[in-house]
């Protein structure tokens, strides 16, 4: 995923102090460097770590709680009440560990998050050795960690100053959406970001209803409105952008706004199909995300690549839109651009952070092998991820998690399942 899109046969990568210091042929790297640790990847492919551009990681604990509903009904009848009754710092930690384990195991090395108690999420993420752009949610109603906007802004102030400069964590501020945060608060958030350099993570233009409501209430579409109040710039990471006009796409490009496409979540909630081929034509910085596990229902970037490539073919009736290589770019280098981290991650290049994934190439579903991008995007499964290195540290070795305890994580999550069902008023647990 370097500028020339080189694919090196029999290649080697040298890593020092968390960064890539050389790339070349295996022999050349072997001759030049004496390594303390060698990861043998012969017969396999080494790819840049995958980047999940949009999640709500603790929502893994709501996986499968309510399905087959549209966004408004799903949010207001199920997710918001379930969150109001269950989200605590402990809930967030348990759900985060589950999500981190799932993401690392499937080759994701960076994720962008928006939730509550984001400081605890940062703590768990750092401990697991994972990279994250982590945004504390700001929303205009009382939530689990903060009851007022003043409390939320004070939380974010402390959170950002505490984590700024960390090698793995980029602390961010996350206004939920233009329809759940007032103009005054959005302006204050932009001022906070200007002052601290913290990225802004948000949802924009997710559904047609959001656009219609915005036109009625504000006389402008969500993107038009956000632009008018001076909110958009090159620190904004916008999830979804399903309903932009052509001019709005030009505007997002001009302002350098990062966009994250969540094909499976948009399909499951029937939110619509984002005009991703139009975005790519304009060279927008567009990445891929899973969204929270409650609307997907997993955190598997391989499926998002495969779905992104196929969804846009069927919608446009053109099999040439979004090639396998373009889908892979969105999960790596273009995803890095969407998070405004392209100088640090997204490709295997000298000087970048050493976030690498070793993928098997000899499973039945990958045999025979002709083309690397076709194999990775259309045939490879998450289970083919063998070894994961983040910031030069091995966190998954031969399919085994080294920084997280899988059995404890599953037991903790199952314990929460029972609490969540009771909290929603069910007298008996299904399938018990
Ligand atoms: Zn979301």
Q: How confident is the model over 144-163, as pLDDT tens digits?
A: 999 999 999 999 999 999 99
**Residue 431 three-state SS:** coil
Total count of residues recorded for the chain: 432
How confident is the model at residue 431, as a pLDDT? 45
Handedness of CA 276, 277, 279, 280 (dihedral sign): positive
Percent of the chain with pLDDT over 70: 98
- Going by pLDDT thresholds of 50, 70 and 90, the confidence category of residue 426 is low
How confident is the model at residue 428, as a pLDDT? 44
Q: Determine the distance separating the centroid of ligand 1 and the alpha carbon of 226, expressed in angstroms.
A: 18
CA distance 213 to 163: 37
Tell me the pairing of strands 393-397 and 385-390: antiparallel
Average pLDDT over residues 22-27: 96
Closest among 339, 177, 327 to 242, alpha carbons compared: 177
CA distance 332 to 51: 6
Instruction: Supply the DSSP string of 240-299, one letter for each residue.
Output: E--S--HHHHHHHHHHT-EEEE-HHHHHHTT-----HHHHHHTT--EEE----GGGTS--
How confident is the model at residue 28, as a pLDDT? 95
Q: Determine the distance separating the centroid of ligand 1 and the alpha carbon of 152, expressed in angstroms.
A: 19
**Residue 13 three-state SS:** strand
Q: Which two tokens stand for residue 288?
A: 């891929």
Rg (CA), the chain: 21
Q: Determine the distance separating the centroid of ligand 1 and the alpha carbon of 266, expressed in angstroms.
A: 10
Q: Give the rounded distance of the alpha carbon of 160 from its chain centre.
A: 19
- Going by pLDDT thresholds of 50, 70 and 90, the confidence category of residue 427 is very low
Strand partners, 14: 22
Least confident residue range of 87-96, 312-321, 351-360, 420-429: 420-429
Taking only the tens place, the pLDDT of each residue in 260-304 is 999 999 999 999 999 999 999 999 999 999 999 999 999 999 999
CA distance 166 to 124: 14
Q: Which two tokens stand for residue 67?
A: 């399905």
Give the chain's mean pLDDT: 96
- Going by pLDDT thresholds of 50, 70 and 90, the confidence category of residue 429 is very low
Give, to the nearest 10 degrees, the angle between helix 149-163 and helix 183-196.
20
CA distance 424 to 62: 12
Percent of the chain with pLDDT over 90: 94
Average pLDDT over residues 410-425: 93
Give, for 216, the enclosing helix (H) or strand (E): helix 208-218
Q: Determine the distance separating the centroid of ligand 1 and the alpha carbon of 237, expressed in angstroms.
A: 12
CA distance 249 to 255: 10
Q: Determine the distance separating the centroid of ligand 1 and the alpha carbon of 55, expressed in angstroms.
A: 6
Q: Determine the distance separating the centroid of ligand 1 and the alpha carbon of 292, expressed in angstroms.
A: 6
Q: Determine the distance separating the centroid of ligand 1 and the alpha carbon of 129, expressed in angstroms.
A: 23
Q: Identify the DSSP state of 67.
A: -
How confident is the model at residue 175, as a pLDDT? 98
How confident is the model at residue 112, as a pLDDT? 98
Class of residue 9 by CB neighbours under 10 A (exposed 0-12, middle 13-18, buried 19+) = exposed
pLDDT higher for 74 or 121? Answer: 121
Strand partners, 396: 388, 401
Q: Determine the distance separating the centroid of ligand 1 and the alpha carbon of 239, expressed in angstroms.
A: 7
Above 90 in pLDDT, residue 367? yes
**Residue 397 three-state SS:** strand
Q: Determine the distance separating the centroid of ligand 1 and the alpha carbon of 303, expressed in angstroms.
A: 17
Q: Determine the distance separating the centroid of ligand 1 and the alpha carbon of 260, expressed in angstroms.
A: 10
- Going by pLDDT thresholds of 50, 70 and 90, the confidence category of residue 74 is confident
CA distance 310 to 372: 17
Calculate the dihedral angle through the C-alpha atoms of 394, 327, 291, 100, rounding to the nearest 10 degrees: -10
Q: Determine the distance separating the centroid of ligand 1 and the alpha carbon of 291, expressed in angstroms.
A: 5
Helix, strand counts (H, E) of the chain:
17, 15
Q: Determine the distance separating the centroid of ligand 1 and the alpha carbon of 51, expressed in angstroms.
A: 15
Q: Determine the distance separating the centroid of ligand 1 and the alpha carbon of 201, expressed in angstroms.
A: 10
Above 80 in pLDDT, residue 395? yes
CA atoms within 13 A on the CB side of 10: 5
What residues have their beta carbon closer than 5 A to ion ligand 1?
291
Q: Determine the distance separating the centroid of ligand 1 and the alpha carbon of 42, expressed in angstroms.
A: 38
How confident is the model at residue 432, as a pLDDT? 41
Taking only the tens place, the pLDDT of each residue in 180-217 is 999 999 999 999 999 999 999 999 999 999 999 999 99
Calculate the dihedral angle through the C-alpha atoms of 330, 322, 56, 231, rounding to the nearest 10 degrees: 80
Give, for 136, the enclosing helix (H) or strand (E): strand 131-138
Above 90 in pLDDT, residue 71? no
Above 50 in pLDDT, residue 50? yes
Q: Determine the distance separating the centroid of ligand 1 and the alpha carbon of 342, expressed in angstroms.
A: 22
Q: Which residue has the tokens 């259309």?
A: 378
Above 50 in pLDDT, residue 370? yes
Q: Determine the distance separating the centroid of ligand 1 and the alpha carbon of 275, expressed in angstroms.
A: 18
pLDDT higher for 421 or 125? Answer: 125
Tell me the pairing of strands 50-55 and 19-25: unpaired
């Amino acid at each position: 995923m370097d500028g020339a899109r080189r694919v090196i046969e029999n290649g080697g990568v040298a890593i020092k102090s968390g960064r890539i210091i050389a790339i070349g042929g295996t022999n050349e790297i072997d001759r030049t460097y004496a390594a303390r640790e060698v990861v043998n990847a012969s017969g396999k492919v080494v790819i840049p770590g995958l980047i999940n551009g949009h999640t709500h990681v603790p929502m893994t604990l709501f996986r499968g709680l309510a399905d087959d509903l549209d966004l408004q009904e799903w949010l207001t009848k199920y997710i918001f009440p379930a969150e109001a009754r269950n989200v605590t710092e402990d809930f967030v930690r348990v759900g985060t560990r589950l999500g981190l384990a799932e993401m690392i195991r499937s080759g994701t090395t960076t994720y962008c998050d928006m939730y509550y108690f984001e400081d605890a999420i940062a703590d768990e993420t750092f401990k697991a050795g994972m990279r994250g752009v982590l945004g504390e949610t700001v929303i205009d109603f009382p939530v689990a960690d903060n009851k007022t906007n003043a409390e939320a802004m004070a939380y974010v102030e402390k959170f950002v100053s505490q984590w700024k400069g960390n090698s793995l964590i980029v602390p961010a501020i996350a206004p939920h959406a233009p329809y759940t945060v007032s103009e005054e608060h959005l302006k204050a958030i932009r001022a906070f970001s200007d002052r601290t350099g913290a990225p802004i993570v948000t949802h924009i233009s997710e559904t047609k209803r959001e656009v219609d409501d915005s036109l009625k209430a504000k006389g402008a579409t969500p993107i038009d409105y956000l632009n008018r109040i001076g909110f958009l710039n090159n620190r904004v990471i916008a999830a979804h952008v399903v309903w932009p006009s052509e001019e709005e796409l030009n505007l997002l490009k001009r302002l350098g706004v990062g966009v994250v496409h969540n094909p499976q979540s948009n399909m499951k909630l029937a939110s619509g199909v984002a005009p991703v081929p139009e975005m790519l034509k304009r060279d927008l910085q567009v990445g891929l995300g899973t969204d929270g596990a409650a609307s997907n229902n997993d955190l598997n970037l391989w499926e998002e690549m495969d779905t992104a490539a196929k969804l846009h073919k069927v919608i446009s009736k053109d099999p040439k839109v979004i090639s396998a290589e373009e889908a892979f770019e969105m999960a790596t280098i273009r995803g890095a651009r969407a998070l405004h981290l392209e100088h640090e991650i997204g490709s295997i290049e000298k000087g970048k952070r050493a976030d690498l994934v070793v993928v098997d190439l000899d499973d039945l579903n990958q045999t025979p092998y002709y083309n690397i991008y076709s194999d990775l995007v259309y045939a490879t499964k998450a289970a083919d991820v063998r070894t994961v290195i983040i910031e030069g540290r091995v966190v998954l070795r031969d399919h085994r998690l080294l920084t997280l305890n899988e059995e404890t994580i599953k037991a903790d999550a199952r314990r929460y399942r029972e609490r969540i069902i009771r909290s929603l008023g069910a007298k008996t647990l299904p399938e018990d």
